[in-house]
Amino acid sequence: MNEVGPIAPPSGIRQRNELAAMRALYRHGRLSRAELARILGLNRSSSGHIVAGLTVEGLVREVGAAEQAPTSHAGRPGIMLELTPDAAFFLGIEIGVEHISVVEIDLACRIVNNRMELFDGPSVDVETAVSRAVSLAFDTLPPSHRSRCEGLGVAVPAQMDRKGLINIAPLLGWRNIQLADLARAAVPAQMPVMVENDANAFAIGASYGAREVHSGVTLYLVMESGVGGGIVVDGTLFRGAQGLAGEIGHLRVNGSDAPDRSLESVLGLECILRAYRAISTQPDQNLATFLADVRDRVPGAVAIAEEWARALAYGLIQAGRIIDADRVVLGGSVAALYPLMAARVLHHIRSMQEESFPLPLIQTNKDETVGPAFGAACMLHQRYLSADGARLAEDAA
C-alpha cells in the first residue's frame, strides 16, 4: 500500500523544479528555454521563473546562441542555458593501498584539480590515513573555492555497509571502523561527507560522470592491489542488502598449485608483480615492464598473463550467471593488461560456459583519471542535485 506524505509547500515545489532543471542541464549540457520547459513539463512562464531564480543564485547562466538549421523564416536565434561551472565544487578522495588520490570537480562535473601522493596504507593507522587524505584534499582545493565546496567523498578498498561502517579492509588492515565519522571529524569545515567502497565509487563515477544513462546491467571492476566490483542497473548503483554486492574479488578459484584462493589473489597487482619478479631479468620490475614483456611475447610474462586471463574469464562467468551483465568495464592500473589479453579472455569464456549464454561487451575505462576519487566527488555532486541535497533541506528548514 502506498503512503501519501504531506503536500510540499510552494517553496518546496519551487526548489524541486529548480533541482529538476539543474539535473536536466547537467545531463544535456546546454538547453534552450523552450527545450528546458518541455523536459520539465512546465509552460514557458513557469519555466522562466525557475530559470530566473537559478540565474540570480549564480547556478545557471546564459551562453552563446543556439545553432539552428537554416529556415525560410528569419528570426532571432535562441540563447542557450547551462550550469555555471564555478558555482559549486566537490572533493573526492581515494585512500588506496599504495597511494592517496584527490579529485576536485565543478558543478559541470568536470575535473578542475587532481593530485596523487604515494602512500603506504598498511603501515599507518586509520586515523592517520584519513587525516592525511583530508589534509591533502584541502591543500589541493584553491582557497577561492573553499566557500563553494559542497561536500567531500571518500572511497576505500573495504567491505562497507550502507552507513559507512567498514567491516574489514584486509589490504589496509582495518576492521570495524566508522569511516564516515572519522572523515567528518577530520574535515576543517562543516559540509556533507559521504563514504563508499572504491569499486562502487568507480562505478558511480564511470556511469554518472558519463551523463548518458546506460540502459542495461554493467559490472565495473577495479583491479589494483585488490579487486572490487560495482553493479549499475539502468544507471543506478545496486549495493545489495548489506552494501556488499559486486564483491567479485572474494570468489574462490581452484588451481593445482593453490586449491583454495580468492580471485583477488590472482587478478591483483601484488600477485602479478610477485610472480613476475620471480622470473624476470629486468632490473626494475614493475607493471610497465611487465606489460612491455607481455607485448613482446616474453614467455614467462606471457604465462603469468595467461593465468590472469583464465582467472578473469572464470570470474566474469560466475558473476554473469548471477547478474547477467551485458557490459563489463575494467578499471584500475591492471586493466591495462586486458587489451593485450582480450582474445585469450574471450577464448576462456567461450570454453568454460555454455554456448547459449551471450558474451558481455568487455571494455576498459577510457579515461584513466575517472577512478574511485572522481566517483567519490560525483557522489556529492549527485546529492547536491537530488531531493536529499543541502539546497532543498535548507529551504525546508
String of DSSP letters for 271-322: HHHHHHHHH---SS--HHHHHHHHHTT-HHHHHHHHHHHHHHHHHHHHHHHH
As a whole-number percent, the residues of the chain with pLDDT over 70 amount to: 88
Give the model's pLDDT for residue 1: 34
Instruction: Write down the pTM of the prediction.
Output: 0.85
d(CA 8, CA 28): 28
Question: What confidence tens digit (pLDDT) does each residue in 293-326 have?
Answer: 999 999 999 999 999 999 999 999 999 989 999 9
| CATH number for the domain whose boundaries are 10-69+76-83 | 1.10.10.10
CA separation for the pair 37, 28 (Å, rounded): 13
Strands 174-178 and 159-160: unpaired
CA–CA distance, 313 with 371 (Å, rounded to integer): 23
DSSP 94-150: EE-SSEEEEEEEETT--EEEEEEEE--GGGS-HHHHHHHHHHHHHHHS-GGGGGGEE
**Torsion 13-14-19-20 (CA) sign:** positive
Which residues of the chain fall below pLDDT 70? 1-11, 65-78, 254-260, 368-370, 389-397
The ranges of the chain annotated as CATH 1.10.10.10 are: 10-69+76-83
The dihedral through the CA atoms of 204, 210, 216, 222 has a sign that is negative
Pair 388, 15: CB distance under 8 Å: no
**What pLDDT does residue 390 have?**
53
Return the pLDDT at 5. 34
In angstroms, how far is the first alpha carbon of the chain from the final one? 29
Other C-beta atoms lying within 10 Å of the C-beta of residue 366 = 10
The grid cell for 278 is 620471480
Angle 361-367-372 from CA coordinates, rounded to 5°: 95
Euclidean distance between CA atoms 91 and 80, whole angstroms = 28
> What span, in angstroms and rounded, lies between the C-alpha atoms of 98 and 89?
26
* pLDDT at site 254: 64
The position carrying cell 561502517 is: 165
All residues at 6 or more sequence positions from 76 whose CB lies less than 8 Å from its CB, including other chains: none
Q: What does CATH list as the number for 88-205+371-396? A: 3.30.420.40
In this prediction, residue 4 carries a pLDDT of: 35
Helix (H) or strand (E) holding 270: helix 269-279
Task: Delimit the CATH 3.30.420.40 region(s) of the chain.
Answer: 88-205+371-396, 211-364
The fourth-level CATH superfamily of domain 211-364 is ATPase, nucleotide binding domain (3.30.420.40)
pLDDT at 31: 93
Residue 266 has what pLDDT?
A: 86
Give how far Cα 257 sits from Cα of 124, 188, 251, 276, 307, Å: 33, 50, 17, 17, 12
